[in-house]
Structure 1
């Protein structure tokens, strides 16, 4: 018998722009990105909190710093990251106990996570801005 070896045609590089993830995959990646962003911004958030409760003078500096439009946009992004991470975390906890693991339920829950996190972000930004 002759042995036939088939060589697999594997890609030499991973083209991230060509990958088409389903919605649950995108929510999963956003969950990881939001968690990383929150972790990396933790020193900045702690410094802002310290400035806001330290003294009346440090609170004035805090108000001036947070009044900058770029800082406000950064804080809006962090607010969305927190809300998305929270909502997606609840979704993943439910998936861990086998609730909504079929394809249709997974897509619906992923869509719900995006809608709820964006809606809550918009409501809180409208209230706080």
Structure 2
């Protein structure tokens, strides 16, 4: 039996609610954290290997690229934690309705932006 239903392959015309965007962003930050942890683990390993290694990592973190990577890592970690807490609260049966779910998603994304700004101020100032 062949189904004759419309197929929309243009993703730019699909309007997702805030809860969907927050959930997708939570997954994206999880993947970003996976790759960012390679940099973090390398920096910890190098800094703990010797006094020269510690000085090397310390000098490396004075550069723009390393600060940018550190800012990105802290920002995605902050949002991932905020989104994770939101998902845990939803698993407990709260904020599951459409209105409260979208509101909690908007608040989580706003807190993520605030955390990213605060992380930037902390790293560059």
The TM-score range, normalised by the shorter chain, is: 0.7 to 0.9
Moved over 3 A (4+): none
Please point out which of 56, 66, 70 is paired with 1:71.
66
TM-score (norm 1): 0.84
2 CA distance for matches of 1:105 and 1:18? 25
For 1:61-100, what aligned pairs fall within 5 Å after superposition? 61-100=56-95
* CA deviation after TM superposition for structure 1 residue 86, in Å: 0.4
* CA deviation after TM superposition for structure 1 residue 7, in Å: 4.2
| CA deviations over 1:64-97 (Å, ceiling 9, x no partner) | 3222212222221111110111000010111111
1 CA distance for matches of 2:37 and 2:123? 21
| CA deviations over 1:35-54 (Å, ceiling 9, x no partner) | 01111222221001112233
Once structures 1 and 2 are overlaid, which stretch shifts more, 57-66 or 84-93? 57-66
Please point out which of 45, 48, 68 is paired with 1:50.
45
* CA deviation after TM superposition for structure 1 residue 19, in Å: 2.0
CA RMSD of aligned residues (A): 1.9
Please point out which of 11, 16, 27 is paired with 1:32.
27
Gaps of 5+ in 1: none
Please point out which of 76, 100, 106 is paired with 1:111.
106
TM-score (norm 2): 0.86
User: 2:5 is paired with a residue of what secondary structure?
Assistant: coil
Which residue does the alignment assign to 2:5?
Answer: 9
Q: If each structure's helix is expressed as a fraction of its own residues, which one has the higher value?
A: 2
